[in-house]
Amino acid sequence: MLTASIFIPLGGAGLLWLRRDMEPRLARLIALGVSMVPLILMAAAWIRFQPGPGLHFQLIESVPWIPTLGVSYRVGVDGLSLPLAALTALLFTVSIAYPVDLKGRAAEYFGFFLFLEFASLGVFLALDLFLFYVFWDLTLVGMYFLIGVWGHGEEARRAALKFFLYTLAGSLVMLLAILGLYLATEPRTFDMAEIIRQRPLAGGGLRASLVFLGLAIGFGIKTPLVPVHTWLPPAHVDAPAPASAILAGVLLKMGTYGFVRISLSMMPETFRRYALPLAIFAVVSIVYGALVALAQPNLKRRIAYTSVNHMGYTILGIAAAGAVVLGSETARALAMTGAIVEMVAHGVITGALFLISGSIWQRAKTYEIDELGGLAGRAPWLTAAASVAAFASLGLPGLAGFVAEFQIFVGTFAVYPVLAGIALLGIIITAALFLLMLQRLFLGDLPERWADWPRLERSERWGLAVLILFIILIGVVPAPLLAVIQPTADALIELLGTP
C-alpha cells in the first residue's frame, strides 16, 4: 500500500515525460487521476492505522537494498508521519487540479509535479535513514524545475538556483550528521527504529553536539528558521502558485519532521541539552517573520514570511517538548501535539493562501497589494476563501490554526514562560498583517481596470473549497486528527525521559 502510494506518481511522471506532446487537458486529467491514487491509499492507511501507546510503526514494508551497509527499502507510518503523508497527498491533488500558465509544456509540468509527489511521500514514509536522504535530495530536483521553468519573470531561474544551492548545502551538512549517527550504531544500521532504540550517541560529548548541529543546520534551512531563511521569499514569489502551495505546505514540513523524527527521537539527551537555544531561534523566527511580513507590499512575499513565523511556532513547540522540566510532562506532551497539528494546519492554510494568490495573478498579473482593492463585490468566492484562510492563519478559534497554536502556547508557558510571552507578539502582528491584507485586497472601491474581473473557474472553486473544508473541520472537530497524533506525542515525551 505505502510503496504503491510512493511509486505510482513516479510511473505517472515517466508516462507524461515520454509523451511530451500530449494535449494539455489530457495531461492534466492523467496527472490528476494518478495523484488521487496516493490520496485514496493514504485514506485507507488512516482507516487501518491503530493508535496505541508507545513509539511503534505500522503498515511496514521492507526489503534489503544494500545489505553490506545495512541499508533497506523500508517504509511505514506512525502518528507523526501518517498525517503529514495524508496532507502531502491532499495538497498535490488540489495543486495539480489548479489552473496555471503551462507555457506550452503541460506534460512536462505535470510530470515534474508527480515526480515531486513521489519524492515527498518517500521522505515522510521512509524508515531507513539512507532512503530518507535519497528522497530528501530528490525533492530539490522537482521543485528546482517547477520554479525555474514555470516561474514568473526573469528572476525565476535565479530564485530556483538559490533555492537549490542553499538547500543542497544544508542537505550535505545533514548527510555528514547522518553518517555520524550511522557510524555510532552497533551493528551498523540505517534502520530508524533500531537507531531510536540504540540511542547511539547517548553519552553526549563533542561528537554528539556536532552531529546535532549538522542535523539542525540541514533541518533549519528547510524549515526555514532565521537566519537561514533567505532562500524562501524569492522562491515563493517567482514560483507558480501551485508549486508555492507545495513548497509551503509540504517541503517546509520536512524540516520540522526531521527535527522530531531524527534529532529528538534518535538523540534525546542531546536534544534536551540544546532545547533552549532552539526555542530562542524559534521565537526570533516568530517575531521577525511577522514583522517583515507586515512590511511587505507584495502579496506572495507577505504570505511567504508568515511561513517563517508559523514554522517558528512549530519549532517552539518541539523545543518546549524537549526541555525536560520537573512536573512538566503533560504540558510538554501538549506542546508536541500542538507542533504536529501545526504542521498539518499550516499546510492546508498556507496552501490555500498561495493558491488564492495564484488566482489573483492569473487575472491581474501582479502581486502588489496596493494595485488591487474592492474585489469583494466582483469575487465573492475568492473573498470568502481568503478570509477563512487568513483568519485561520492568525489563530481565530474554530479554525485549524487555533487548535495548533493554543496547544503550543499552553505547553510552552509551563516550560519557557518568558519565551512564550514574547512569541505572543507574533500572533498580534500576524493578526494586523492579515487584516490589513484583507482590507486592501477586498474592501474599498474597485479600481476601474478590474471592473470586468473574471470569476473563479470550477477547478479553482473546488480546490479552495476542499482546503477550506479541512481548515474548518480541524478547527471544529479536531478529535480524529488528535487521536492519531497524541499517542505518538506522548511516546516521544516518554522517550525524552524525566529530570
Q: What is the DSSP string of 185-253?
A: SSS---BHHHHHHH-TTTT-HHHHHHHHHHHHHHHHHHTTPTTS-TTHHHHHHHS-HHHHHHIIIIIHH
What percent of the chain is modeled with pLDDT above 90?
Answer: 78
3-state secondary structure of 59: strand
Q: What is the mean pLDDT of residues 373-401?
A: 92
Q: What is the mean pLDDT of residues 54-68?
A: 90
User: Confidence band (pLDDT; 50, 70, 90) for 327?
Assistant: low
Cα gap 457→306, rounded to integer Å: 27
Lowest mean pLDDT among 78-87, 217-226, 446-455: 446-455
Cα gap 497→174, rounded to integer Å: 26
Lowest mean pLDDT among 142-156, 244-258, 412-426: 142-156
Q: What is the mean pLDDT of residues 44-65?
A: 91
pLDDT (tens digit per residue) in 229-257: 989 988 888 899 999 999 999 999 999 99
Q: What is the mean pLDDT of residues 249-272?
A: 94
User: Confidence band (pLDDT; 50, 70, 90) for 21?
Assistant: confident
Instruction: Determine the pLDDT at residue 498.
Output: 58
- Please check the confidence at residue 153 and state whether its pLDDT lies above 80: no
Q: Say which DSSP state 397 is in.
A: T
User: Confidence band (pLDDT; 50, 70, 90) for 499?
Assistant: low
Instruction: Determine the pLDDT at residue 378.
Output: 87
What percent of the chain is modeled with pLDDT above 70?
Answer: 99
Q: Which residues, at least 6 apart from 441, have a Cβ–Cβ distance to it below 8 Å? A: 299, 360, 369, 372, 373, 375, 386
User: Cα 98 to chain center, whole Å?
Assistant: 19
Q: What is the mean pLDDT of residues 393-409?
A: 93
Strands 58-66 and 71-77: what pairing?
A: antiparallel
Instruction: Determine the pLDDT at residue 202.
Output: 81
Instruction: Determine the pLDDT at residue 325.
Output: 66
3-state secondary structure of 499: coil
- Please check the confidence at residue 386 and state whether its pLDDT lies above 90: yes
Task: Describe the crossing of helices 81-97 and 106-125 by its angle, rounded to 10 degrees.
Answer: 170
Lowest mean pLDDT among 8-17, 61-70, 341-350: 61-70
Residue appearing with cell numbers 511580513: 293
Determine contact, residues 198/210, Cβ cutoff 8 Å.
no
Q: What is the mean pLDDT of residues 385-390?
A: 95
Strand partners, 40: none
Buried/exposed code over 277-301 (b: 16+ C-beta within 10 A; e: otherwise): ebbebbbbbbbbbbebbbebebbbb
- Please check the confidence at residue 296 and state whether its pLDDT lies above 60: yes
pLDDT (tens digit per residue) in 341-366: 999 999 999 999 999 999 999 888 88
Instruction: Determine the pLDDT at residue 97.
Output: 94
- Domain segments of the chain as ranges: 274-499
Cα gap 92→247, rounded to integer Å: 11
Q: Which residues, at least 6 apart from 381, have a Cβ–Cβ distance to it below 8 Å? A: 455, 456, 460, 461, 464
Cα gap 334→83, rounded to integer Å: 17
Instruction: Determine the pLDDT at residue 277.
Output: 95
Cα gap 444→379, rounded to integer Å: 13
Determine contact, residues 255/282, Cβ cutoff 8 Å.
no
- Please check the confidence at residue 340 and state whether its pLDDT lies above 90: yes
Instruction: Determine the pLDDT at residue 419.
Output: 94
Determine contact, residues 424/387, Cβ cutoff 8 Å.
no
**Taking all residues of the chain, what is their mean pLDDT, rounded to a whole number?**
92
Determine contact, residues 482/337, Cβ cutoff 8 Å.
yes
Instruction: Determine the pLDDT at residue 5.
Output: 96
Say if residue 187 is preceded by a cis peptide, omega within 30 of 0: yes
Determine contact, residues 376/445, Cβ cutoff 8 Å.
no
3-state secondary structure of 115: helix
- Please check the confidence at residue 209 and state whether its pLDDT lies above 90: yes
Backbone angles phi, psi at 158, to 5 degrees: -65, -40
Element at 66 (helix H, strand E): strand 58-66
C-alpha cell at 274: 540544546
3-state secondary structure of 365: coil
Determine contact, residues 68/187, Cβ cutoff 8 Å.
no
